[in-house]
Structure 1
């Protein structure tokens, strides 16, 4: 075959040839291979493998990178050469092979994932199929972007421990939490753990992104979580007496409410919010404890409160040490600015009318 006739010439090129001649030789041989790859038998592929394995390491990075890109999707590419390219430190070379080549077996991928850096892990994470042995290593060593990539890969499979790792890392990564929650292969137990550890904003984003079937599953899990959580019992008596005293002394105002909210004095803040808004305390407590911040916006707008106070009340709802993602905070601020006083008053009039029908 044509490649065999090049061997004497190649020996001289390897020993004495310039970088340009080596690149030209690789281009000629790879063209020969790609032209006949579909009909080559094992011995033909082996011949190309023997030739290129000795020639490729002596060439420039760009030449190796181009060759790797061309061979990355060929089913019967020279196997030794492919493994050699996959282990290159230069990601321009290794990347296409790691992401696409069907010739890399599980042990090879696991070994590379254990030894190489984040760029190599990212490339492996994009493969059409990934076994649990590979994803276990990726989750153990990968940075945030790598883990997000592998979590979004529908062809990736995760062990029970792998899913536990995903859920744990999603606790501090809202983007990852939404991605993991959308996976079709996530178990009910893992989904429950993910939702139990997620903030309300993440749950809403997950519901918004879910298809109807997944949305139903999420709602079922949320109902199950809610049924197992006992609401905190709060004694508002002392706070109500303190707020009444402040009112009688003329010291009850928005600044006092803001101070209570910032200090996470929940009972005092709710009692003050109730007194300033004219809404019964149980109703204010129920609104603040709800899944969304919209009722807080309505109640605050009807009372003419500043955004600073509204933001503190939203944080009060989340609890000490917790916060909303900045985009969600900004969305709430924009919604508050857009909310008209007349709309807020109409909604509150409806709530008050409904409250009158309930027993005191």
Structure 2
């Protein structure tokens, strides 16, 4: 059949269901006839009207609340496909009605209808913000998940608000898997301590994770096996973090860590040292009769002597101290703090034994360590509970003034 003239279309529109469906599906059918068929008793006819690009928007408005799910799904696919063509600087009656239809369908009771919307809008940069906000907060993770994972419309403030609402793991994981997760969002995810979400974050190579946040993860990681593999494969591992990871993951993951050629020499050296720490010392001795070749063991350097040697060679750095913290080398860290701060070792030991967050922080300041390292010294050396640890101010700054820290040290006899 060729073009459909008005009289023919009008006649068919009052015929049987097959005729009405035919007229409803034709793009050349006159708008008033399409509008009339939008209230047809047959759901199949109304679905054709919903799919027809020539249907007047007023008829689409009626169909957005149709009783039949297939009608609403068809309408959702048509209207969502129009979003890329909507002009941001032209907001007339048609555009307003289109947006209203989108908002109605985003709240539809049927997940299948909302799912059609998600498939079309989840990664569009010009998707209507109100619609994306509605879908991102959908309690059905199959709806909200793809939007949380992909939508460029969502801001950090939006994501932080959703995280604060304690969503279930699937939605939290979707946020963790976004491209280029910001530092603020990463911090919020780690603070939840949700195993699956943190594992997803660690597995996301584009996620930005501060060293302080990574330290927090490493504090908890021994109890969370799903974090181990993504930690081992995490790009840009700091030397101290790599050494700590090598201290608690399985032998097979240690081999993966050791085989990484993308890590700088300093980090690979830290891993090697950590691996040596976890291996049992070789037992050798003459006259054992076991057929083994005896090897003379070199005398082991004492922790304090090693600290003094590195200090003299100007190699006693913050990374060296934090690496030793991760390996549990208490004697070396104590000696290092004394050397770096210029304080007598008995004073250092007294400050650490006092378990005062302010006192330990002042000691680290005196040793010219960063607050990141000071936080680790508080928790790992002074055994101060995480809830009592003194944290950085404005990201990385010490939370006390110089005068306040000098005053803290005076309690321990430091002039």
Does residue 191 in structure 1 map to residue 233 in structure 2?
no
**Alignment: residue pair count:** 243
| TM-score calculated relative to the size of structure 2 | 0.49
CA displacement at 1:140 relative to structure 2:
2.9
SS of residue paired to 2:191: helix
- Choose from 55, 58, 63 the match for 1:8: 58
- Equivalent residue for 2:74? 24
Does residue 140 in structure 1 map to residue 140 in structure 2?
no
- Equivalent residue for 2:302? none
Please identify the structure whose Cα radius of gyration is greater: 2
Distance 2:278 2:145 in 1: 51
SS of residue paired to 2:217: helix
Quick check: 1:174–1:202 contact (8 Å CA) kept in 2?
no
CA displacement at 1:95 relative to structure 2:
1.5
- Choose from 77, 85, 91 the match for 1:43: 91
- Equivalent residue for 1:310? none
Give deviations 1:307-334, integer Å, cap 9, x for gaps.
xxxxxxxxxxxxxxxxxxxxxxxxxxxx
- Segments of structure 2 that go 5 or more residues without pairing to the other structure are 1-51, 299-415
CA 1:30/1:160 → structure 2, altered by over 3 Å: closer, same or farther?
same
Does residue 56 in structure 1 map to residue 106 in structure 2?
yes
Distance 1:46 1:152 in 2: 42
- Equivalent residue for 1:149? 200
Listed as ranges, the matches of 1:255-334 within 5 Å are 275=288, 277-279=290-292
| TM-score calculated relative to the size of structure 1 | 0.56
Deviates more, 1:126-135 or 1:58-67: 58-67
- Equivalent residue for 2:146? 96
- Equivalent residue for 1:203? 254
Quick check: 1:121–1:142 contact (8 Å CA) kept in 2?
no
SS of residue paired to 2:243: helix
- Choose from 155, 174, 180 the match for 1:129: 180
Quick check: 1:136–1:158 contact (8 Å CA) kept in 2?
yes
Distance 1:81 1:230 in 2: 54
Give deviations 1:77-128, integer Å, cap 9, x for gaps.
1111011001111121111111111000011111222321000011112211
CA displacement at 1:51 relative to structure 2:
2.8
Higher relative contact order (Cα pairs below 8 Å, separated by 6+ residues):
1
Quick check: 1:166–1:180 contact (8 Å CA) kept in 2?
no
CA 1:230/1:50 → structure 2, altered by over 3 Å: closer, same or farther?
closer
CA 1:222/1:20 → structure 2, altered by over 3 Å: closer, same or farther?
closer
Does residue 163 in structure 1 map to residue 211 in structure 2?
no
- Equivalent residue for 1:108? 158
Listed as ranges, the matches of 1:334-349 within 5 Å are none
SS of residue paired to 1:214: coil
- Segments of structure 1 that go 5 or more residues without pairing to the other structure are 235-265, 287-360
Whose helix proportion is higher, 1 or 2?
A: 1
- Equivalent residue for 1:214? 263
- Choose from 101, 118, 127 the match for 1:68: 118
